[in-house]
Amino acid sequence: MATAPKGSDPRVKRTRRLIQNAFLELLQEKGFTAISIQDITERATVNRGTFYAHFADKNALIEAIIREQFQQVVASILPPTACWSRRSLGLLIQAVEEFFQEMHSHCGPPGGLDPLLERAVQEELSQLLVTWLKQAPTAGKRWPVPVETLALVVSWAIFGAGVQWSQGAKRTSAEQMADDALLVLTEGVARLTPDGLPG
């Protein structure tokens, strides 16, 4: 009889979820830097060995949580048919803004999370954009820059706009910020500045 893969075992999922929920509760109470593995295992009622069977350390734990939450927000906003298009890019920018707004409301001030959050979200964005670009109808044609470079630059632009909007005074709505960022991404700086972009 074949056994289910480790990741699909309900007990493994339940234990992983216990650890993640315990960590999120502690994050609200103590902040990231003050949380120890012992705090997490006591709250989750698991032993240290069980914790380490799932996560290398608390950085790996928070990174997994960030990636899962980001993927959930993106999936809730983007249609299943999302692709390299103006509409999908606009929705992706809105998803990033919503994600950062949720992160700030649930986790409070980042306190040690910034580099982990930045890396996880930016990598998720870049991977998604690479996938879209490779599936685009023009994917077989020669691009002026590598697809990975294009995805990297666009992902950082989207990431930066999302962070700035979520941490700022929100003088513009999420929709307006998404529209503005999308315009810059799709039209480019040279076309949007009054005298173009001097050489």
The CATH number given to whatever domain includes residue 33 is 1.10.10.60
51, 134: one domain: no
Average pLDDT over residues 130-151: 85
CA distance 17 to 9: 12
27, two tokens: 């994050």
Q: How far is CA 181 from CA 43, 101, 163, in A?
A: 42, 17, 12
Instruction: Give the domain extent around 164.
Output: 67-192
Of 194 and 137, the one with more pLDDT? 137
- DSSP-derived secondary structure letter, 6: G
Q: Which of 13-27, 110-124, 153-167 is most confident?
A: 13-27
What tens digit of pLDDT does each residue of 57-98 get? Answer: 999 999 999 999 999 999 999 999 999 999 999 999 999 998
Q: For 15-29, 40-54, 174-188, which range has the lowest pLDDT when averaged over its residues?
A: 174-188
Q: Do 88 and 82 contact (CB within 8 A), yes or no?
A: yes
Is the pTM higher than 0.75? The answer reads yes
Number of domains comprising the chain: 2
Smallest Cα–Cα separation from 90: which of 189, 192, 179? 179
Asked if residue 97 is part of any domain, the answer here is: yes
Asked if residue 62 is part of any domain, the answer here is: no
Alpha helices in the chain (DSSP H): 10-30, 37-44, 48-54, 58-77, 86-107, 114-135, 147-167, 174-187, 189-192
76, 173: one domain: yes
Any idea which residue has 């074949």 for tokens?
Answer: 2
100: enclosing H helix or E strand: helix 86-107
Asked if residue 198 is part of any domain, the answer here is: no
- State which amino acid sits at residue 186: T
Contacts of 142 (CB under 8 A, 6+ apart): none
